[in-house]
Structure 1
Amino acid sequence: MYNPIRKHIIVPMKFSLLDNWGFKSIILILTLFGCSLSLYAQQITCSPEDKSLFETKIVDLGKTKGANLGDTISLVGQSFIGTPYVEKTLEIGDTETLVVNFGGLDCTTFVENVLAFSLMLQNQQKDFENFTNNLETVRYRNGNLIGYPSRLHYFTEWIRNKEKKGLVKDITAELGGVELEKPINFMGTHRNLYPFLASDANFEAMQKVEKEIAKENLCYLPQNQIESKEHLIKSGDILALATSIKGLDVTHTGIAIHQPDGRLHLLHASSKNGEVEISELPLADYLKNIKSNIGIIVTRPILKSL
């Protein structure tokens, strides 16, 4: 049985300019400009098992024939069904690296991996380097890994940042979403829950991020309106579960998928059932069992070529 808890290997990401200019030339240029090579050559954390799983998955996904982008995304998402739910898979080591882990996913890394693979299919890519570039684009602010604070920890900021990059469009307001003025500062007020925030530099950077997020109101589709609007939500749309919990914007995320019962369900990495699955109940009914849920944020992937 595949074990999601295993030893990872940290390897440097490829620096495309090296192919043309040579390593010594790059070192010289960076030295002249007072730059550190580590600033540009980010690192990947990936086990041999995960690299092998990538090779298998990209071959299998090459056979995927979605009628449209939404169908492709939902098919890619379904290829992960049964993958174990594992939290905190990105909290490895004492520095931020680009973690590749297919053996265990939480709700966010599930969505990230689905989008990274969907970008590959959209752009007819096959190489592992293409995948890691896509994953970095999806996971980090402006697509650049520059330490722990550059990871998009709050999903509302993730949506806004990826909307600017042309990867998604927030359609919540179009569906009749309502705005809520709410401070988003859970990480800043619960520093002890996040090991990387032991660093004062990381903590101060995250406080600045929270202040920026707070400049815009939270827009969500209220829970009692979801059933009447679910026909407007397409398979492949990204759903984020808005919450009443103080300081938090979203507690869970997944992918919309219409089922044979004619209803909208949630394709997600479930902490309750311990794996990636399609919710047994329709989304509107599923949310009624979550006390802190106030509704959803709906984002439609566009995935323009990078």
Structure 2
Amino acid sequence: MKNYFKITLLICFAVQFGFAQVFSDKDINECNSRFSFAVEKNLSQKPIGDVIAEVGKTFLNTPYVAHTLEVTDTEQLVINFSGLDCTTFLETTFSLARCIKQNKTSFDDFRNELQVIRYRDGKIDKYPSRLHYFSDWIHNNIEKGLIKDVTKEIGGKPIKFKVNFMSENPHLYKHLKSNPEFVNEIKKQEKAINGRQYYYIPENEIEKVENKIQNGDLIALTTSDKGLDIGHVGIAVKMNDGKIHFMHAPLVGSKVQISEDSISDYVKKIKKHTGIIVLRANEI
């Protein structure tokens, strides 16, 4: 196994949830160190957006690792502080920030919060219960009252997604290959997504609304890739130049970083990115 998985994984059966959770001693220590950092910086007294931004910065230079949630044969709550992709970086940071704001700072508190955020209605029920498409993640976490989609109010334009990538390419997904019966459930989820109205800021209009994006907003980048909705996610960070930059886990071989360019220029540089959706964490 690769170096990032050399740590012995602990499988802890949580009776209250009835499913296995996978993490390591290092993950527990890394989580607790973030909570200690929050106490030291008195983060619980700051707006949640600022907490998200500050916690996110503690992950800078963490290696990008793909497929970190696909390490088990059945769906389990996987936690890996040592290697992050763009979505797990966002989820881990958001979960920690919500714990800090609620003064719930044990590892168990973090695990519970992460489950709520990552899974449909906060419940693990096999592979389809994970919020795979980020547009579905947005919809479900709005329903839970955790975030608000502010894209329309800051100048967003309507967009309809036509997602089908997962159901059309089950061979690319470990759990769909081994459990073909899950494909029909994924198709139902895709149909629901395709029936919803979303809003986005087109790439050539981001600069005009940049002053309406706040520090710590969650950013989803819409994509032109066929069958997909969101191609990348990260966190808005206001830098010393007064501009909003993009904190994210970019791709294999890189590390969590803050873009040198403003978010507007960053999106324009990558052809498949068509615009952004701006999400704001609800205050607790």
TM norm structure 1: 0.87
What displacement does 1:57 show?
2.6
Mapped pair 1:288 → 2:265? no
**258, 267, 284: which one aligns with 1:278:** 258
Q: Deviations over 1:229-251 (max 9, x none)?
A: 00000001000000111111101
- 1:10 aligns with 11
Report the Cα distance in structure 1 between the residues aligned to 2:62 and 2:170, rounded to whole angstroms: 30
Report the Cα distance in structure 2 between the residues aligned to 1:55 and 1:261, rounded to whole angstroms: 32
What displacement does 1:117 show?
0.5
Residue pairs, 1:241-260, within 5 angstroms = 241-260=221-240
Mapped pair 1:213 → 2:193? yes
Q: Deviations over 1:161-199 (max 9, x none)?
A: 111111000011112211123311111111111111121
Report the Cα distance in structure 1 between the residues aligned to 2:252 and 2:78, rounded to whole angstroms: 24
Report the Cα distance in structure 1 between the residues aligned to 2:256 and 2:273, rounded to whole angstroms: 20
8 Å Cα contact 2:65/2:252 also seen in 1: no
8 Å Cα contact 1:166/1:303 also seen in 2: no
Q: Which amino acid aligns with 1:172?
A: T
SS in 2 for 1:242: strand
Report the Cα distance in structure 1 between the residues aligned to 2:252 and 2:3, rounded to whole angstroms: 19
Report the Cα distance in structure 1 between the residues aligned to 2:220 and 2:239, rounded to whole angstroms: 19
Q: Which amino acid aligns with 2:60?
A: I
- 2:39 aligns with 62
Report the Cα distance in structure 2 between the residues aligned to 1:215 and 1:167, rounded to whole angstroms: 22
What displacement does 1:14 show?
4.4
**Alpha-carbon distance change, 217 to 144 in structure 1, aligned in 2, over 3 angstroms:** same
**158, 161, 167: which one aligns with 1:188:** 167
**70, 81, 88: which one aligns with 1:109:** 88
What displacement does 1:11 show?
1.0
Instruction: Tell me whether 271-280 or 107-116 shows the greater mean CA deviation.
Output: 271-280
8 Å Cα contact 2:245/2:263 also seen in 1: yes
Q: How many residues align?
A: 279
Q: Deviations over 1:75-105 (max 9, x none)?
A: 0111111111101000012101000110000
Mapped pair 1:239 → 2:201? no
Mapped pair 1:97 → 2:97? no
SS in 1 for 2:240: coil
Name the Cα RMSD after superposition: 1.6
Report the Cα distance in structure 1 between the residues aligned to 2:252 and 2:202, rounded to whole angstroms: 23
What displacement does 1:44 show?
0.5
**154, 176, 184: which one aligns with 2:155:** 176
Report the Cα distance in structure 2 between the residues aligned to 1:273 and 1:258, rounded to whole angstroms: 26
Choose 1 or 2 for highest CA Rg: 1
8 Å Cα contact 1:269/1:277 also seen in 2: yes
**45, 57, 63: which one aligns with 2:22:** 45
Q: Which amino acid aligns with 1:84?
A: P
- 1:136 aligns with 115
- 2:243 aligns with 263
What displacement does 1:3 show?
4.3
Instruction: Tell me whether 255-264 or 44-53 shows the greater mean CA deviation.
Output: 44-53
What displacement does 1:303 show?
5.1
- 1:163 aligns with 142
8 Å Cα contact 2:95/2:113 also seen in 1: yes
Q: Which amino acid aligns with 1:173?
A: K
8 Å Cα contact 2:235/2:246 also seen in 1: yes
8 Å Cα contact 1:3/1:103 also seen in 2: no
Report the Cα distance in structure 2 between the residues aligned to 1:84 and 1:299, rounded to whole angstroms: 25
4+ aligned runs moved over 6 Å, structure 1: none
Report the Cα distance in structure 2 between the residues aligned to 1:56 and 1:3, rounded to whole angstroms: 22
SS in 1 for 2:40: coil
What displacement does 1:268 show?
0.8
Identity of counterpart residues, as a percentage? 39
8 Å Cα contact 1:257/1:267 also seen in 2: yes
Report the Cα distance in structure 2 between the residues aligned to 1:272 and 1:193, rounded to whole angstroms: 17
What displacement does 1:227 show?
0.6
8 Å Cα contact 1:154/1:250 also seen in 2: yes
SS in 1 for 2:209: helix
